[in-house]
Structure 1
Amino acid sequence: MRETTIKWPRVNAAWLRSPAIEKVFAALAKDGATTRVVGGAVRNTLIDRPVNEVDIATTAIPDETMRLARAAGLGAYPTGIDHGTVTVVADGQSYEVTTLRRDVETDGRHAVVAFTDDWKEDASRRDFTINALYCDPDGTLYDPVGGFEDLRKRRVRFIGDAKQRIREDYLRILRFFRFSAQYGNGQIDPTGLAAADELKEGLVLLSAERVRAEMLKLFAAPGAPEALDVMYKAGILQLAIRTRIEPDRFARLVAIEAALGEAPDPITRLAALAVIHPGDDRFLAEQLRLSNAEASRIAAVFTGEPGIDPETPEATGRAALYRLGPENFKRAVMLAWARTEASPNAPNWRARALLPDRWKAPKLPVSGSDVIALGVAPGPALGGILKAFESWWIGNNFPTDAEQQCNVLKLLAAKALA
C-alpha cells in the first residue's frame, strides 16, 4: 500500500521524546513491527492544544505486544484484548497500544474486529478524518484519509460514507457534534449533519452512561451553544436528553461564564439546559446516570435561596453564600441569571455572583463544647441550641462581638434547661 506522507509539519512534542514512550517503541520494534502514535495526541500537537493521553497503533498482534513489552521489562495488561488493545506501562506512564484493525461486524453499539497490517484499512474504520492522523517515533506524519487538511481548515468530517460510520456506532452522532464544537470552524459539515439527522433514532440504542459521558464533554466545548442549537433544530438533542430543554438559556449561561471569566462547568450548563421545573434534576440524574456528586451539584445550584437574587440586600446574599458555599453560590447565581433576560454584563447580577470574591463566609463561632460548658448534656437539646444560635447569627449578619455571642448562647441554653 502506498501511504500519503506529509513531510511538513513534523510532529514535534516533548511527549514524543520522553524516555517512557521511547521504551515502548523500542520494545515493539524488536520483531519488526511498525508502531505509530495515533489520534488525539497527534491532532492536538499539530494545533498546539494540550495532550492528555497518547494512544499507539501497531502492526503487532496483541499477544506479540504483550510478549515484547514484558521481555523489555515493561508492564503489559490485556485491558481490551478482544478489540486488540493492550495497556503498556513504562516508567509509570500508561499507553494504550492497539493492533491495526478492520471491522467484521457492527450493530450500532459494538464491533467485532479482525487484525490487519494495513494502515489505510485501520484509518478507514475510524470516525473523523482529524482523528486518523499517525506519526512515527521520529515525528513523520502519516495522513491516509486527508485529516491534516481538514484540521488546518477546522473541518470535522466523517471518514468515507458518513451514514456507514454512524451505523457502526450511533454514539458517533454525538461525537460528531462534540468534535465540531471543539475543533470546528463554526460550520457543521452538511454531509455529516444530514446523515446524523437521518439516523438519529439510533441514539435510543445507546446506554445512558455513554450518552452522559459524551454530552458532558460536548457541554464544555467552546462551540457548544452553536452545536446544541443545530442539534435542537434537527431534533437530535431531544433524543439525547429526553426532557424539556432550553438551548437559549444554555447559551446565556455560556455568555455569563465568559463575562465573569469563569471556566466552563458542564454540570451547571446541563442544569441551565434541562432543569426547568422542580424535580427535573432528579429525572436527569436517573436518565443520564449521573454520579451522586454530579446530582448533588445540580440540586445545589437549583436553589430557592432568596439571597441569589441581586435585588435582595447583600446581607441576604451573605446568608445564602454561607449556606451554599462559595462555588455553589456563584454557580447558583449564574444559573438564576441565565433564567432571566438580563445582559451578561448586568452590574447587579455581576456584583452578586462575585460576592464570594469580596466576602469570605466565617465559621460558626461556637461549638458543642461551648454549650456543654453551660450545663447542657450532649443530645438533641444541644443540637437544637446550636441550630438556634446559627439562625440568630446568620439573621443578624454574622456579628463578631464575642460578648454578644456569649450572651445569646447563654440565653438559649437557659431556655433549654428551664
Structure 2
Amino acid sequence: MMDTAIKWPRVNADWLHAPALEKVFAALAKGGATTRVVGGAVRNTLIDRPVTEIDIATTALPDETARLARAAGLGAHPTGIDHGTITVVADGQPYEVTTLRRDVETDGRHAVVAFTGDWKEDASRRDFTINALYCDPDGTLYDPVGGLDDLRKRHVRFIGDAKQRIREDFLRILRFFRFSAQYGNGQIDPTGLAAAEELKDGIILLSAERVRAEMLKLLAAPNAPEVLAVMYKAGIVQLAIRTLIEPDRFARLSAIETALGETPDPITRLAALAVIHPGDETFLAEQLKLSNAEASRIATVFASEPGIDPETSEAVGRAALYKLGPENFKRAVLLAWARSEAPPSSQNWRARALLPDRWTAPKLPVSGSDVIALGIAPGPAIGNVLQAFENWWIGNNFPSDAELQRNVLKDLAAKSLA
C-alpha cells in the first residue's frame, strides 16, 4: 500500500548515523524492505532528551529479516518471533527489528498479531500518538497519526479509541499516566482519563513485574505529584499498589528533593507514597516483587536512629550516618522530613539531609587482629570487645587519636579477660 504519511523535516542525531545501525539498514535494504526507526528514539530526539534504546520497524517478514541479517554477517535472534521481533546484532549492539503488524486478537495482556505492509495500520495499533513517530535512515520523519503536534503541545493522547487501546493491554492505563508525568504538560487528556477510570479494574490482571516497572518509572517522572493526585482521585493508583496511599506526603517529598537539587529516587518516593505503618514495606516488597536491594532500601522509612531528627546534635547525626551509610541516611532524613510536614525551606532539615555531603564517616580503626594481639582468644569475646569499642568510639564522636584508641581497646580487652 502507498505510504501516505505526512513527511516532516529530517531527524538529526548522531545515533542515526552509527555504523552498527547503518549496517542493519543496509542489510534489510538488500531485500527491498522499507525500514525505519520508531518510537522513543525518534520522540526523545525531537525534544532533546536522552535516547536509551533504538527500535526498528520494517516491512520485511521476520524470517526474511533474520535471513538478510545473517547474509550480511550480523547476528539474528528470534527473541519475539510470535510478535514479529528479531533481535539483530551489529558490532555487538542489539537492535529489536519488528515487522509491521496489526492486532488480530487481544485479551488485555497478550495479543495475536498479523503482519502488514501498511505503516498507518502499524501506527494505529500503538498506544500513544507521540510513540508512533518514524524516521527513515536519512532522518526523514513520518507522522501517521498526529504525534508531532501532540509532542509539541506536550499532550499525551491515545491513538484512536482510548478504550480499545486499553482493552488491548491494560498496562496502557499505567503507561498513560507514566507518559503524562514524563512528557505531558501537567494536564491529563480527559478522554484518556475517562477511559482509564472506566477500565481500571483491568489493572488487577497484570503481573506484579509489569506493574512494578511502570510504577517506578512514573514515580520518578517530573510531573509525578500532579499525575498521582489524579490517579488517586480516580482510584487507579490504589489498584496498582493495593495499600494505603499518601499522595500529599509524596508531593512534599518531591518538593523537598527539588529544593535540594536531588535526583528523584523511585524507591524513596514509593516509601513516601505507600509506607505508612510498620509492615507496609514488607507488603510492598511482596506486592511489587521488589528486589532484595530495593526492599532493604524501602525499609529505611522506619529507621529509628535519633540522629535523623535535626533537633538532635550533629554528633548524634553523625552516629546515625555512620550506622546507616550515606545513602540510607539521606533517604531516611528525606522521608522523615516529608512526614514532619516541615516546609522544603526548613534550614534545620536541610542541614541534616546534607550532612553526608560535608562529613564522611570514618572506618572503624581497629580489627579482630588488634584484639587477638591483646591476648583475647579467637571466639565470641573478640566480637564483644569490638562492639564495646565501636560503641565508645561512636559515642565520643569518632576520636581519631591513635594512642587514645589503643588505651581504650586495652582496657576493654582487660575487662573481657577479668
TM bucket normalised to smaller: over 0.9
- Residue 227 and residue 342 in structure 1: after superposition, are their counterparts in 2 closer, same or farther (change >3 A)? same
Deviation at 1:75, TM superposition (A): 0.8
Deviation at 1:189, TM superposition (A): 0.2
1:217–1:266 CA contact under 8 A, matched in 2:
yes
Q: Note the alpha carbon deviations across 1:301-322, whole angstroms, 9 max, x for none.
A: 4311110000011111000000
Query: What are the residue-to-residue correspondences of 1:44-193 with 2, within 5 Å?
Result: 44-193=44-193
- What residue is the counterpart of 1:227 in the other structure? 227
Q: Note the alpha carbon deviations across 1:277-332, whole angstroms, 9 max, x for none.
A: 11110000000000001001111343111100000111110000000111111111
- Output the TM-score relative to the length of structure 2: 0.99
- What residue is the counterpart of 2:306 in the other structure? 306
Structure 1 CA distance for aligned equivalents of residues 122 and 152 of structure 2:
22
Q: Note the alpha carbon deviations across 1:168-196, whole angstroms, 9 max, x for none.
A: 00000000000001111111000000000
Structure 2 CA distance for aligned equivalents of residues 391 and 75 of structure 1:
59
Q: Please state whether the residue corresponding to 2:278 is helix, strand or coil.
A: coil
- What residue is the counterpart of 1:336 in the other structure? 336
Structure 2 CA distance for aligned equivalents of residues 388 and 3 of structure 1:
77
2:275–2:301 CA contact under 8 A, matched in 1:
no
- What residue is the counterpart of 1:206 in the other structure? 206
Structure 1 CA distance for aligned equivalents of residues 128 and 242 of structure 2:
27
- What residue is the counterpart of 2:262 in the other structure? 262
Q: Which amino acid aligns with 2:217?
A: K
Aligned residues: 418
Q: Which amino acid aligns with 2:167?
A: R
Structure 2 CA distance for aligned equivalents of residues 7 and 196 of structure 1:
32
2:8–2:142 CA contact under 8 A, matched in 1:
no
- What residue is the counterpart of 1:21 in the other structure? 21
Q: Which amino acid aligns with 1:83?
A: H
Q: Note the alpha carbon deviations across 1:207-228, whole angstroms, 9 max, x for none.
A: 1110000000000110100000
Deviation at 1:7, TM superposition (A): 4.3
- What residue is the counterpart of 1:390 in the other structure? 390
Deviation at 1:8, TM superposition (A): 3.6
- Output the TM-score relative to the length of structure 1: 0.99
Query: What are the residue-to-residue correspondences of 1:235-250 with 2, within 5 Å?
Result: 235-250=235-250
Q: Note the alpha carbon deviations across 1:113-158, whole angstroms, 9 max, x for none.
A: 1111111111010000000000000111111111111111111000
Q: Which amino acid aligns with 1:338?
A: A
2:37–2:57 CA contact under 8 A, matched in 1:
yes
Q: Please state whether the residue corresponding to 2:340 is helix, strand or coil.
A: coil
Structure 1 CA distance for aligned equivalents of residues 13 and 301 of structure 2:
41
Deviation at 1:5, TM superposition (A): 4.3
The alignment's C-alpha RMSD in Å is 0.9
- What stretches of structure 2 of length at least 5 have no aligned partner? none
- What stretches of structure 1 of length at least 5 have no aligned partner? none
1:380 aligns with 2:380: yes
Structure 2 CA distance for aligned equivalents of residues 185 and 91 of structure 1:
39
Deviation at 1:405, TM superposition (A): 1.1
2:3–2:118 CA contact under 8 A, matched in 1:
no
Identity of matched residues, %: 86
- What residue is the counterpart of 1:34 in the other structure? 34
Q: Which amino acid aligns with 2:123?
A: A
Structure 2 CA distance for aligned equivalents of residues 402 and 383 of structure 1:
20
- Residue 204 and residue 333 in structure 1: after superposition, are their counterparts in 2 closer, same or farther (change >3 A)? same
Q: Which amino acid aligns with 2:214?
A: E
2:5–2:143 CA contact under 8 A, matched in 1:
yes
Deviation at 1:86, TM superposition (A): 0.7
- What residue is the counterpart of 2:362 in the other structure? 362
Structure 1 CA distance for aligned equivalents of residues 415 and 61 of structure 2:
78
Structure 2 CA distance for aligned equivalents of residues 199 and 97 of structure 1:
31
